[in-house]
Structure formats: C-alpha cells, structure tokens
C-alpha cells in the first residue's frame, strides 16, 4: 500500500497492512538535548529523527517518505513590524507579526512567535483589535484572492501532487483560534457577553475568508485532509460553554465541512488542547471525523472515547508525553493502555503534543520501538 492509502484507510476505519508510523517530533530544545545524548548532529528534521530512532529500535522496513505539501497562506498581509520595545535583565517586551505586544524571555527572538521553533511562555500586554476602528483596519489585511497566498508555482505543484503516494493536508485556523489571536483570550470570552455584535462580525468575516480560500485551493488540488486548529479547552472544560459553541461556531464548522466534502476531501480534522470530552459530540455534528492531540494530562481517555463514539471519530496522537519522559514500566503500560484503540482502527498513535524537553533520547527510541511494534512496523 502507498503511504496515502495506508493513512486514509486507517483514519476511515478500513483495512490496512500497517498503521502509519508517525510517533511525533521535538522542537528545538528537545532536539538539542537529544543531540547531546547520542542523536547525530546532522540528523535534525522530524522525519529523519524518527527514521533513525526506528532503526535503532530494530526497524528493518523502509519508512515511506512524505513529499511536498500544498501550503496555503492564511496569515495577514501585510504583517505587523516585529520589534523589541523594551529590553530588561531577563525579559523583553516585543511586538510580534500579529500586532500583539507581549513579554518573553531574552533567550528568544520574535521569530519564535512567528514559527513553532520551540515552546515560548509569554505574558500578553496588548492585542491588535481593541475597538471597531481596529477591526476595520484588520480586515484589510485579509484578501483571499491574493494569488501570493497560494504556493509558488502552484499550478506546476498541483500537477506534481496529482499522482502522489503520500497524504496532503490543508491547515487553517478555526474561528475561535483566530478571534483569540485578534482580541486576546480573556477579551474574547468577555466579548461573547458584552459585544456579541462585534463577535458576529468577526466570525462572519473569518467564515467567508476561509470559505474563499478553500474554494480557491480546490481549483487546483483536492487534499486528503482539511485540518483546523482551535485550542479551545482547559484541563477540565471547554473555554466557552457547549451552548455557545453550538450557537457561534457550529454553523461555521458545518459550512467549511460541506465545502470540503463536496470537493472530495476525505478527512475533516480538528485540533484542540485541553479536555475535549464535551466538544467531541459537537464536532461530530459539525462533520469532523478526526481529532487530535487528545492530551492525557487534561483528562482525555481515548479508550473511553472510542467506546462512546465508535467509528464516528478517528483520533491522532493520544500517547501520554509524561510516560515517554518517565520511561520504563510507565512507557510500557501506556502502550498497553491504548492498544485496544490501535487494534480497533481509526487511530494513528503519537505523542499527545510536541515531544517536550524532559524526554531523553534513550526513552524516545524505546517509545518509537513500542509504537512501531504496535502498528506493524516491527
């Protein structure tokens, strides 16, 4: 089977020879540790790291290569100027590309706020949309018909991808995620009560914008997956009530899902950290058929979710990162815990977020070996 067939069959609960081996990946600080513990310096990208770990774990099969993707740029154009506003002994106050003003450690640059280089803790000071006038100005930065949003040489790239052997994913920000980027988390939650008119305007704008990007993309290529990022849950509950989710977000999710399915997209996926138990039923109603990362520390139980939702929802990730860090029996027990879901299909096991710095290289290799065995690669 090709990588694409294997990937789709797994998430669609169909028969496959093996489950895709996609164990996860570490950001810069994690890779720095691994390089100090035996990972060769020249091996630094996620695919090569996982291939090397698989070989060290005893893997003999040739892992499939993931080729080019068709990345569409949803970000504001022009971006705000990235700059340092104030430098202190240990921290700095900066403006990022989104127009947010925040405080970060001096060990990072503003590039870390633009790209997922590493995990960066920040203190929010000011967000770019604080008034109707701010919002009117923000709208002008999002033209869905700007041809530069499509990949360079997009026609040629689409031709190259037409007979691909690997899966292609299209990623956009969901409505909750994007509004939070504009106004800030606390302000957003308050605005649902104090300024629903502005909330509706922003939601309708983003709904139309992403719908147009989808239509423009599907003129050239039909990806295997359309994935949106939401991050809308705490450890125990969603950040807004299920009732508000249904009222404000559900119609947008349904609209985008209808566009994607009509074009022939097979997987409609959503990402949210935190506890997603009260969100999954709404996601299923919206048409999503896959979600991630199913964080265990937030109280998510992928085994219980499978019992409740059956084949209505496939999962990715869901392997407790804390157990990878602990190693030994904890790592083995976690593998056993998720085995019923692996065997049941509709699940690609992986670390339940980016692999953190407290995971040693030795434990990561052991983890990759256990995942490889459970998915048919060893």
pLDDT tens for the chain, residues 1 to 378: 999 999 999 999 999 999 999 999 999 999 999 999 999 999 999 999 999 999 999 999 999 989 999 999 999 999 999 999 999 999 999 999 999 999 999 999 999 999 989 999 999 999 999 999 999 999 999 999 999 999 999 999 999 999 999 999 999 999 999 999 999 999 999 999 999 999 999 999 999 999 999 999 999 999 999 999 999 999 989 999 999 999 999 999 999 999 999 999 999 999 999 999 999 999 999 999 999 999 999 999 999 999 999 999 999 999 999 999 999 999 999 999 999 999 999 999 999 999 999 999 999 999 999 999 999 999
| Alpha-carbon dihedral angle through residues 57, 62, 66, 68, given to the nearest 10 degrees | 140
The predicted model scores a pTM of: 0.96
Cα separation of 94 and 83, whole Å? 6
Largest CA distance in the chain: 60
CB burial class (10 A; 0-12, 13-18, 19+) of residue 169?
middle
Asked whether the beta carbons of 104 and 122 are under 8 A apart, the reply is yes
Tokens (6 digits) for 194: 């104090």
Domains in the chain, start-ordered, CATH in brackets? 3-76+130-374 (3.20.20.210), 81-127 (no CATH)
Q: At what angle do helices 302-309 and 328-344 cross, to 10 degrees?
A: 10
């Amino acid at each position: 089977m090709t990588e694409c067939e294997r990937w789709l069959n797994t998430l669609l609960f169909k028969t496959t020879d093996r489950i895709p081996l996609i164990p996860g990946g570490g950001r810069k600080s994690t890779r720095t540790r691994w390089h100090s513990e035996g990972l060769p310096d020249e091996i630094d990208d996620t695919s090569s790291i996982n291939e090397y770990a698989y070989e060290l774990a005893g893997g003999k099969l040739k892992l499939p290569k993931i080729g080019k993707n068709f990345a569409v740029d949803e970000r504001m154009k022009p971006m705000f100027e990235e700059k340092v506003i104030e430098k202190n002994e240990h921290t700095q106050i900066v403006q990022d590309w989104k127009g947010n003003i925040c405080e970060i450690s001096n060990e990072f640059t503003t590039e870390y706020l633009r790209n997922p280089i590493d995990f960066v803790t920040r203190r929010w000071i000011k967000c770019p949309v604080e008034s109707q006038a701010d919002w009117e100005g923000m709208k002008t930065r999002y033209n869905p018909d700007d041809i530069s949003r499509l990949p360079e040489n997009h026609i040629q790239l689409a031709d190259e991808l037409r007979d691909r052997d690997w899966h292609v994913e299209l990623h956009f920000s969901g409505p909750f995620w994007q509004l939070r980027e504009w106004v800030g988390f606390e302000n957003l939650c308050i605005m649902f009560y104090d300024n629903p008119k502005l909330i509706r305007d922003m939601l309708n704008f983003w709904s139309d914008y992403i719908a147009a990007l989808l239509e423009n993309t599907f003129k050239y290529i039909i990806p295997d997956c359309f994935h949106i990022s939401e991050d809308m849950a705490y450890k125990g509950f969603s950040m807004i009530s299920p009732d508000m989710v249904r009222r404000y977000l559900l119609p947008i999710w349904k609209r985008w899902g209808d566009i994607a399915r009509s074009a022939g997209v097979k997987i409609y996926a959503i990402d949210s950290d935190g506890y997603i138990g009260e969100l999954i039923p709404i996601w299923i109603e919206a048409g999503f058929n896959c979600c991630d990362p199913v964080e265990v520390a937030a109280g998510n139980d992928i085994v219980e979710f499978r019992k409740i939702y059956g084949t209505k929802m496939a999962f990715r990730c869901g392997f407790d990162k804390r157990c990878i860090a602990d190693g030994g029996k904890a790592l083995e027990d976690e593998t056993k815990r998720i085995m019923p879901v692996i065997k049941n299909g509709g699940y690609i096991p992986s670390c339940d977020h980016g692999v953190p710095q407290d995971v040693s290289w030795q434990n990561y290799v052991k983890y990759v070996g256990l995942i490889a065995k459970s998915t048919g690669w060893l």
